[in-house]
Amino acid sequence: MPKIVVPEDRRTAVSEAVVRVVRRGGVEAATLGNVAKEAGLAIGSIRHYFADHEAMMIFTMDQLGRRIGERVAVRADRLLAADTDRRTLVEDLLAEFLPLDDDRRDEAVAWLAFTVAARTRPAFRASADAQHQYLRDLITRILREAVALGRLSEELDLTVEAVRLSALLDGLTMQAVLYPESTPPELLRDALRRSLP
């Protein structure tokens, strides 16, 4: 019997290299050559694990979205079983989407590049749309719960409110990514706190 390897691990390693390259030079820099160099592999190796350049990019985007989603899911679970101050938890939950540390900033940079590219690249649309829908739904669910608990006025238009908050998160992320010097993490957090209903 031959070598026994988990291809998924390899693919993951490659996709992490893709993220680093995209972070540094944008999606158009994620050529097979650049990614191979970044991953310390040969082009041939990457091609062995991905049918296509496009497949590599899609896999990377999916995994990026999944990683972000999982991190938020942890907080969301804690929110459901909330015995402590609920407002802080909501803030923490939404803050999880913000690039408050270097790791999340790197993710956000890549994610922004991918989602913007998704506008004109059909292959990226599914991931982008799913992530966007997930965020809006999550916010809506939290708000609805808050209304049910009498913490929020019933007059509030939840649709508008969800758009408002998700747009705020997107905008803060965008500014943190594009103009990090004038948008330090504390400012992000303050702006978020000031915007909660």
Partner DNA sequence: GCCTTTTTGGCACGCTCATGCTAAATCCAT
Partner DNA sequence: ATGGATTTAGCATGAGCGTGCCAAAAAGGC
Contact between 195 and a second copy per CB under 8 A: yes
Q: Which of residues 44-83 bind DNA (CB under 7 A)?
A: 44-45, 47-49, 52-54
Asked whether position 112 contacts a second copy by CB under 8 A, the answer is: yes
CB neighbour class for 132 (10 Å; exposed up to 12, middle 13-18, buried from 19): middle
- The CA–CA distances, whole Å, from 97 to 30, 32, 88, 90, 192 equal 24, 30, 15, 12, 11
Task: For residue 151, give the nearest of 77, 71, 89 by alpha carbon.
Answer: 89
Long-range pairs for 178-184: beta carbons < 8 A, 24 or more residues apart? 180/105
Does 131 participate in binding a second copy (rule CB under 8 A)? no
157 binds a second copy (CB under 8 A): yes
CB of 48 to a second copy, least distance (A): 27
Q: Which two tokens stand for residue 186?
A: 């504390």
Of 8 and 103, nearer to a second copy (C-beta) is 103
Q: Which residues bind a second copy (CB under 8 A)?
A: 24-26, 28-29, 109, 112-113, 115-121, 128-129, 132-133, 136, 157, 159-161, 163-164, 166-172, 174-175, 177-179, 182-183, 187-188, 190-191, 194-195
